[in-house]
Chains A and B, each alone.
Chain A
């Protein structure tokens, strides 16, 4: 579903990504971990067509991110650690706006559907400003799946969530994984990352230093390898 070949990104003279090669199979849940500044967010933003790579390319659903970004956008949903929501509008109004921008058919029915999925239907007419961080995150996910994209990109979705919200997010992620969508999630929490994933990879120093199937590795091993990879 996603094929990344030799992706590089430099900000002026500073090289952040130094050649990423990665494959994500359809329906697979990949967790990408790495220290702060490793380039996880940059990588995800390139996949989300928000940023342009300086070299290499990525194919999402067979469409090149560099050459046909508009086409790619239909197929992806992004959940960032920023909500991408309009605080002064209600949940319904936010989703109506995004629904129109994505040409979502039967919009009102779809809005009800996703709101129920993330358990926010009861607060749908309240302005987003009044939501807790966890609720905003869930609405953000609702926004991202509104147009039913086959690919979900999630950038550190656990950031700033309390225990309850984390548990709820975990449930949502598991249902995402079960829904057959292809998911790429970045996080620096190794345990949470390993938990929901089918596969894991470590991004360090601008390159993928390690990859494995999630069930083949224990959390302790994972921590050890991570410490090794990020030490240099």
Chain B
């Protein structure tokens, strides 16, 4: 990365790195313990400050994939395909974080690793499967143009499905008799906690942008290498 040209990227990168440290402090120390959480549940609850931003960033990433997919089908151009694919990859990573941190939080808090009554958790799991399918699809198609088209169609259909899955999961969760009623937070969010959460959110978003930029560049370089190889 050339220093002057990419000044903005360097700045963001350093901010993100510093931000992670600060966010860690805010989440673990600065934020007061949530009311009603005792024993093990108390520190476990703090995963909330990473769980929620990860979910948000994953969703943002898939939204970017959605828009890039439409752009690709509408206008064409490898750059949209690269953007869609890279964003989906990153989105999958963040969604993995969501699905992993969910149980870590849930177990000490509600005594169960997983609950199908929580529409957010269920949606995250389905989301993970949809975009895992997206990545697999890309791996299994040889032709470049075809791969791009297929991914774009899946990128659109997958994203449109997300709110429908959420709605269905919510109705389903309400209809099933379940001892544990789970809601998103389940506790009052004090102002300090809000600060920690918002900060974490900002840091995650910046991280997403930085990683996405780097990933897209790597992909473009790979393209160039392939083109050079063919010339021989």
Contacts and interface: CB of A to CB of B under 8 A. Distances in A.
Interface of A: 11-15
A14 B227 CA distance: 9
B230 to A, nearest CB: 3
Contacts of A13: 226-227, 229-230
6 contacts: A11-B143, A12-B226, A12-B230, A13-B226, A13-B227, A15-B230
A14 B143 CA distance: 11
Contacts of B227: 13
Contacts of B226: 12-13
A52 B230 CA distance: 20
Name the 4 nearest CB pairs between A and B, nearest first.
Answer: A13-B230, A13-B226, A12-B144, A13-B227
Contacts, number: 12
A13 B144 CA distance: 10
Contacts of A14: 230
A77 B221 CA distance: 43
Given A11-B144, A12-B230, 10 more contacts: A11-B143, A12-B143, A12-B144, A12-B226, A13-B226, A13-B227, A13-B229, A13-B230, A14-B230, A15-B230
Contacts of B230: 12-15
A14 B231 CA distance: 9
B223 to A, nearest CB: 9
A14 to B, nearest CB: 6
Nearest to B230: A13
Interface string B206-227: 0000000000000000000011
B145 to A, nearest CB: 8
A205 to B, nearest CB: 15
Contacts of A15: 230
A12 B230 CA distance: 9
A24 to B, nearest CB: 28
Contacts of B144: 11-12
A26 B143 CA distance: 35
